[in-house]
Structure 1
Amino acid sequence: MLQIEKGQDIKQELLHRYKTILPDELIKIWEDNGLARLMGEYLKAVNPEDYQELLKETYFRGNISIPILVTAFGDIVTFEEGQYIGMVKYKNGNFVMLAKNFKRFIQNLGDDYFLEKYFQIPQYIEAVNKLGKLEQDECFGYVPLLGLGGSEKIQNLKKVKIREYIELISQLVGKIGM
């Protein structure tokens, strides 16, 4: 069973605006838990409007993608073409498709192979133990950036603001997928 922690409530206007656009399962999470945190706070539900412009500016499919979740490492999970779940992995400069639909994505979150392949759960646990829990607008970022010769070591992680981290990486590598 997926671990979900209640987050900040979602305004009714936002729910109404996305009810026919986003998957029913995500809308149900929003209704019951607001901007919930999932998987021990590794994933955070986000207001798509807070990240939509940033996604358009930094991801080649940003104009057909809706940001729905952010990982503890500043990756944006997207809803694309009305069904697919993808992830823009800014720190690595690439993107992956995670599932054909949101229901399958949620099911995959219970699969150890899937988690190991796409997420950094052990590093996250270590980072939380070392640096503490993240705020809604924070992620763990590598300093120096991986693209500037940094390495994926725990001692190189710092708490950073998600948007600023993504913007900085994008200035370095350009639009993801181009």
Structure 2
Amino acid sequence: MDRVFARFIDKFGGLVGRQEVPVSSIERYRGKLPDQLLEYWAEHGWCGYGEGIFWIVNPQEYEGVVALWLKGTKFESLDTYHLIARSAFGDLYLWGERTGASLDITSCLSRYTVHEPLLSREQMDKDLRSFLLSAEVEYNDFDDLFKPAKKKLGALRHDEMYGFVPALMFGGPDTLEHLEKVKAVEHLILLAQLAELKPYSLSDL
């Protein structure tokens, strides 16, 4: 295990729901995602960390999710994006084939954040390491609700997340009482259809 991933695991810990990554999946994304990420897949699989607060995922399972979220936005033609990781609450971390770790989506609020794009493919592995080193448990914990949600609703499987019902975009409250354990893909597809994807503004902070 290299030092970057070792630091990432030390920070998050709590590995859950590991799935072995088939060689066919690694080859499917060769040249599209960083070689370093594919090496991590081969060694560590697709897996949840921090007891399920952060997941490194199979992008193929989320192709429909990404397509719906980006439909009609400037990102649809800007790059080809793949979901490489997500949080327990549906924070989506997208990787652009040309722009790297340049786009995050907070699905429950229909907000996005753009990061400085890469300048060259040679920087891909470096950008991937920076992405992992910058990931923090607290940034993926919506209003410190992860531990209470896990205690009330149970641990997440690899295909599950905690979602607000009714959705926040419908005016639902962001409280523990309105969190449910839901299927991740289905819930993210639902959220993508509720409101226009907009950039974060100062009023959101």
| Same fold per superposition (TM over 0.5) | yes
User: What residue in structure 2 maps to residue 40 of structure 1?
Assistant: 51
- Residues 10-159 of structure 1 mapped to structure 2, 5 A cutoff: 10-59=21-70, 60=73, 61-62=75-76, 64-80=80-96, 81-97=98-114, 101-109=127-135, 115-116=137-138, 118-120=139-141, 122-159=144-181
> Which has more radius of gyration?
2
Aligned residue identity for 2:49:
L
CA distance in 2, matches of 1:98, 1:73: 21
SS at match of 2:166: coil
| 1:150-169: CA deviation from partner (whole Å, max 9, x where unpaired) | 12111111001112211222
Contact 1:79/1:85 (<8 A) preserved: yes
CA distance in 1, matches of 2:64, 2:173: 29
Cα gap change, 1:48 to 1:94, in 2 (>3 Å)? same
CA distance in 1, matches of 2:54, 2:116: 16
Aligned residue identity for 1:103:
R
Cα gap change, 1:108 to 1:144, in 2 (>3 Å)? same
| 1:117-164: CA deviation from partner (whole Å, max 9, x where unpaired) | x42163112211221101111100001110111121111110011122
Offset at 1:24?
3.0
TM-score, normalised to structure 1, is 0.84
Q: Which runs of no fewer than 5 residues in structure 2 stay unpaired?
A: 1-6, 118-126, 200-205
| 1:26-47: CA deviation from partner (whole Å, max 9, x where unpaired) | 2122011111222332111221
CA distance in 2, matches of 1:98, 1:145: 27
Aligned residue identity for 2:149:
A
User: What residue in structure 1 maps to residue 202 of structure 2?
Assistant: none
Instruction: Give me the CA root mean square deviation.
Output: 2.3
Aligned sequence identity (%): 24
Aligned residue identity for 2:181:
K
Offset at 1:51?
0.8
Contact 1:85/1:102 (<8 A) preserved: no
Q: Which runs of no fewer than 5 residues in structure 1 stay unpaired?
A: none
CA distance in 1, matches of 2:56, 2:140: 16
Aligned residue identity for 2:90:
G
Query: What is the aligned length?
Result: 172
